Structure 1
């Protein structure tokens, strides 16, 4: 007991927290977007893990709350969260938020069946094809303009699963999706044999960047953003940032299936 009291006294004298739980907490609103953000993954996904560790290095602990994307945005904009993740940059969002340095580099590609000898260099190479797509989803301004020409048909549904099912049944020829998101969906919802039938074209359709956003309504946001950005830049330079995504490619964020108890003899 004496040693414990001395330890606590030393911590108070030095200004150190006696427990990790006494670190200041940051509450961050997020949407479900596996493999980057999901309550069904280790560390809530690779982006949640990265954000948590970046802030931990600055002396904070992070609590994530998963919400529908519109609520995640509006709640953070109103100052009910310290930040929200992750979002692409749009000028209209600057009215409500400060943007971090780029946190995620996304690569959208065309998924297709391996049995299809598909290649493309220009959008016009897709003329006459039927594509799958997400509801009310943009694949970048340039491709949106091409879709508006009517040279291709796009059939929009509500989920990756539906789009990959249509691809396997050859009801669509191509499905544009972010590469890691697409493969995460395939691993989660399709058999190894079905996964083996699908590949993606190496040429990106779109390179997009996503950001952590901090609400302008909170006075703490500018200083917090500066610390976050400096730590993020340091980790990009020393290689630690890339290690998170190397772990993602190796499947280290997948939860282990529950162990099945061995049958016991009567």
Structure 2
């Protein structure tokens, strides 16, 4: 009897999860190989994971592309979109529910210009310098507190703006995921002196984040179960590698 009841509950949960026809996913595609735009639509690991994850759960995914990352977070908080991929923070957890299973381990690095060297071994070393971040970015409570205290960050909408300032010496450092930053500057004109400094600023995990105002927020267990299957099958790592290859091929095209 107990087994029958559990089976019925599982069936009802699956049916309810598939009742909705679409999921609105917000992307700000400026983070290769996680997410970038080919001029028509987002490409990369993040949109691939979202399409596969929710497709297997019975949804059609609607991509929403906005002008900066802060807009995506705000729309998710207000329930205008259902899903983003993001790092956890105490502030974000007030409006978003995060998957327990991560999509990607990310090492956050400090990028600097060898023509204007800076000394960096720990976060406080950056207090004497001027840095750049994208609107809406957060790299953990300690970093957010540091930024609020020192007010030494210039906020912009694109990595191109950030690294352009770093190349021209208008700022001293850029905070960026190491993988994304290195991939971005590989083919950026004038970026031959831009390097990622060896010490990691932090290590974080990119996760599926569902708006607490979305009906999806009641189904985090199913989302985590599907993510775990994808991780165990090696699909997440394979999609990451394929995204790196695709991005490099795209930027090499004349």
What is the TM-score when the length of structure 2 is the normalising length?
A: 0.70
User: How far does the alpha carbon of each residue in 1:7-29 deviate from its partner, in whole angstroms, 9 at most, with x for none?
Assistant: xxxxxxxxxxxxxxxx9742223
Tell me the distance in 2 between the aligned counterparts of 1:74 and 1:172.
Answer: 27
Root mean square deviation of aligned Cα? 3.7
Corresponding residue for residue 167 of structure 1 = 166
Superposed, which structure 2 residues align to 1:1-266 within 5 Å?
25-34=21-30, 35=32, 36-40=34-38, 44-68=43-67, 69=69, 72-73=72-73, 75-77=75-77, 79-81=79-81, 83-101=82-100, 102-114=102-114, 120-126=120-126, 128-134=128-134, 137-146=137-146, 154-158=152-156, 159-186=158-185, 190-191=188-189, 194-219=190-215, 221-223=217-219, 225-250=220-245, 252-253=246-247, 256=250
The Cα of 1:200 is off from its aligned counterpart by 0.5
**Which ranges in structure 1 are unaligned for 5 or more consecutive residues?**
1-22, 261-266
Contact persistence 2:23–2:59 (CA under 8 A): no
Tell me the distance in 1 between the aligned counterparts of 2:132 and 2:80.
Answer: 37
User: How far does the alpha carbon of each residue in 1:31-89 deviate from its partner, in whole angstroms, 9 at most, with x for none?
Assistant: 313223344377632201112122333343322122354554455455554x2112332
Pair 167,38 (structure 1): closer, same or farther in 2 beyond 3 Å: closer
Tell me the distance in 2 between the aligned counterparts of 1:71 and 1:169.
Answer: 28
Contact persistence 1:107–1:206 (CA under 8 A): yes
What is the TM-score when the length of structure 1 is the normalising length?
A: 0.67
The Cα of 1:236 is off from its aligned counterpart by 1.8
Pair 137,57 (structure 1): closer, same or farther in 2 beyond 3 Å: closer
User: How far does the alpha carbon of each residue in 1:144-199 deviate from its partner, in whole angstroms, 9 at most, with x for none?
Assistant: 4445665xx835141432332232233433222222442454357x22xx233222
Corresponding residue for residue 6 of structure 1 = none
Structure with higher Rg: it is: 1
| Range with bigger deviation, 226-235 or 137-146 | 137-146
Pair 96,131 (structure 1): closer, same or farther in 2 beyond 3 Å: closer
Contact persistence 2:25–2:61 (CA under 8 A): no
Corresponding residue for residue 18 of structure 1 = none
Q: How many residues align?
A: 230
Pair 229,253 (structure 1): closer, same or farther in 2 beyond 3 Å: farther
